[in-house]
Amino acid sequence: MQAYSEDYLFDAMEALGEAFDCAANRVNLGLDQFFEMFVATGVADAFGAGAPRYVSGSSGIELVLDVCYRAGLDIGVPLADMASDGEGPDYWCGWVLAYWQWETGRPFRTIGRVTTMEEIRALYWPLHEAAEQKFVEVIEERVARRGAPLKSWREQRGLSQVALAGKSGVSLRAIQQYEQRCKDINHGQGASLYRLAQTLGCRIEDLLEYPL
């Protein structure tokens, strides 16, 4: 269910597209770094809920400045130097992200747990001339095929299941069951999840499953 009227969708997409473009090309923030700030400052929740200030009352430039101010980051760039031309993969990333969030009603913070902004940006070349709905279909299919978060984090750290079991103290069988989704990690013992997260250098919530 969409949080706000389709009447505001174009403005919302334009604002987030311009924000991503300015963050990446004028403020020199990585897309994922800016997105993390967008979520951590609470601006993403307000934007996703359709707060008029963000989906229809702010430009992308103002959105970047608001996020950076709330994050305590002094970017030191005049407004006049941050104009976006509304083109390119960085702009498109913010544009389709706003559409995806609106179409699915999924919070931005949940989206950030199942994909990265760089992964979205990488879809620009095959999809930027297609309808936004095509992007949603492609990214939803990708996310659905992805393995369990625990497996992804383990592989990123270059650990085998046996090595992770040895370092974390969590049984090999439990790790196998979590990764095969035979056992719901969302209902795992807090102590086990804490040890896994500590070993992998992530947060407990990063290991949880978030339904599409």
Contact 150, 196 (CB under 8 A): yes
Q: Domain residue spans in the chain? A: 6-145, 149-206
Top pLDDT among 195 and 205 is at 195
**What pTM was computed for the model?**
0.79
- What is the rounded average pLDDT of the residues 139-168? 91
Residue 96, pLDDT > 60, answer yes
Top pLDDT among 113 and 178 is at 178
Name the nearest CA neighbour of 60 among 33, 86, 39. 86
User: In angstroms, rounded to a whole number, what is the distance separating the alpha carbons of residues 163 and 161?
Assistant: 5
The amino acid at residue 12 is A
Q: Please, what's the b/e burial string for 92-107 (b: 16 or more CB within 10 A of its CB; e: otherwise)?
A: bbbbbbbbbbbbbebb
CATH number corresponding to 149-206: 1.10.260.40
- Angle (CA) 148-152-157 rounded to 5° is 150
- Angle (CA) 107-18-65 rounded to 5° is 80
